[in-house]
Amino acid sequence: MAKGYDVAVVGLGAVGSAALYALSKLGARAIGIDQFAPPHDRGSSHGDTRITRQAIGEGVEYTPFALRTNAIIEEAEAALGIELLVRCGFVFITRDDLGTAHHGRFGFLAEASRAAMNHGVPHELLDAEELRRQFPQFHGLAGDERAYYEPGGGYLRPEQSIDAMLQLARRPGVDLALNTKLLSLALTPTGVVIKTDRDTYCADQVIMCTGAWLTRLAPPPIARALTVHRQVLHWFSVDDSSCWRPGRSPTYIWVHGLNSAEQFYGFPPLDGAVKIATEQYHVECDPNENMDAPSVEESKMMWHEHAAGRLHGVAPAAVRTATCMYTASPDRRFVIAPDPNDARVLYVSACSGHGFKHAAAVGEAVAHRALGAATGLDLSTFALSPERIERWYA
């Protein structure tokens, strides 16, 4: 007979690990299933750092999720005595806020500023002259830039955060099935039967957080809304650390041109190198296939198209590269949707390149939903409604 649980979480990345932790705190009988052994480098939540912000330019409705995620992360830090959240500051730089989009959102700076005022998040709006003064590592400014600066922003450590969630989730009644591949879900009157390549389980509710693999595992209405894209991360060594000192080295998103392709993001130095990257959503990839390793030409292009003349004290040769996958929806918003045939199965995906800063709160909220417990966060804004789908394909 299959072992029974209140909730099964399939996929233990950023959202799934947090969901399992929340279920553990709520005293649920739960199992976490993953085809790998998180944290790992086969999905979307690796690469040492992920930008975090408090006031969210993608839409003010995201801000409560970012703030709650920070609180959950700080709770984990206190419990384990480790550092997961580094508040080094965050800067968003743009030349044309209304004319260029970031993560599908025009007016990103204005929206972030509005969210900050609504939620009491300390921030500053800077012109190009003040940006130069506060952050001398940013060179090559055209002079018409505006910037949103949030001192409480910074970065999260993704691998360590996932590991922390899984450590804290462990208690009697919570099981892990790692290196275990999902084969099928069967909706029965007595529960959802979960068949894997190792065992069979039964749960009252299932939370599917398999990231890029939802394109293969979700039913058609949900899978059709998701695309998977290879991303490349680059690390360049710092050869002049004078302007990359603590207090002057925020994370940043820099829209340096007048179209949405002319932008990149980056981090302060870690181990003598700065990580920088762009995002691409025009070429899809298969999560079941090994992605091509980053080429030297890709790093050269990253340097010449974005970093050259803009980042002072950074050498032009990449010292390290990595790839990861982003799962995206057409409007670059999250998708949190029940199975069309049975609401006992909930699909959670489409972080669209800006999910990690919200992930712990999303995981907690879907865990509460699975148990019928109250949550102060509104998941309905990410529903896969007919109106939303119609807007995508209008």
Evaluate whether 347 touches 214 at the Cβ level (below 8 Å).
yes
Evaluate whether 64 touches 209 at the Cβ level (below 8 Å).
no
Using CA atoms of 364, 367, 368, 370 in order, give the dihedral in degrees to the nearest 10. Answer: 160
Closest to 325 in 3D by CA, of 40, 116, 75: 40
Closest to 179 in 3D by CA, of 19, 13, 33: 33
In the chain, which residues fall in CATH 3.50.50.60?
A: 3-45+159-226+331-392
Residue 121 carries which side chain, given as an amino acid letter?
V
Residue 361 carries which side chain, given as an amino acid letter?
A
pLDDT exceeds cutoff 70 at 133: yes
pLDDT of 316 reads 96
Give the H or E element holding residue 6: strand 3-10
Q: How far apart are CA 195 and CA 175, in angstroms?
A: 16
In the chain, which residues fall in CATH 3.30.9.10?
A: 89-154+227-328
CATH of the structural domain 89-154+227-328, one choice from 3.40.710.10, 3.30.9.10, 3.30.565.10, 3.20.20.140: 3.30.9.10
Stated pTM of the model: 0.97
pLDDT exceeds cutoff 70 at 318: yes
Q: What are 88-113's pLDDT values in tens digits? A: 999 999 999 999 999 989 999 999 99
Give the strand pairing for 3-10 and 30-33. Answer: parallel
Q: What are 51-89's pLDDT values in tens digits? A: 999 999 999 999 999 999 999 999 999 999 999 999 999
Assign 3-class secondary structure to 49-95. CEEECCCCCCCHHHHHHHHHHHHHHHHHHHHHCCCCEECCCEEEEEC
Cβ contacts of 295 within 8 Å, gap of 6 or more: none
pLDDT exceeds cutoff 90 at 2: no
Is residue 313 left, alpha or beta, with left meaning phi > 0 and alpha meaning psi from -120 to 50? left
- CA-based end-to-end distance of the chain: 49
pLDDT of 394 reads 64
Residue 385: is it exposed, middle or buried by C-beta count within 10 angstroms (0-12/13-18/19+)?
exposed
Q: At what angle do helices 158-169 and 14-25 cross, to 10 degrees?
A: 30
Q: At what angle do helices 356-371 and 14-25 cross, to 10 degrees?
A: 40
Is residue 68 left, alpha or beta, with left meaning phi > 0 and alpha meaning psi from -120 to 50? alpha
What does the block give as tokens for 32? 């976490």
Q: What are 355-368's pLDDT values in tens digits? A: 999 999 999 999 99
Closest to 90 in 3D by CA, of 114, 123, 117, 116: 123
| CA-CA-CA-CA torsion sign (246, 247, 253, 257) | negative
The CATH superfamily assigned to 3-45+159-226+331-392 is FAD/NAD(P)-binding domain (3.50.50.60)
Q: What are 216-244's pLDDT values in tens digits? A: 999 998 999 999 999 999 999 999 999 89
pLDDT exceeds cutoff 70 at 1: no
Q: How far apart are CA 40 and CA 48, in angstroms?
A: 11
Cβ contacts of 352 within 8 Å, gap of 6 or more: 103, 104, 326, 327, 328, 329, 332, 333, 334
Q: How far apart are CA 363 and CA 361, in angstroms?
A: 5
The C-alpha angle with vertex 67 and arms to 65 and 72, in degrees rounded to 5, equals 90
Q: What are 17-48's pLDDT values in tens digits? A: 999 999 999 999 999 999 999 999 999 999 99
Query: What is the average per-residue pLDDT within 130-157?
Result: 97
Closest to 130 in 3D by CA, of 153, 147, 113, 114: 147
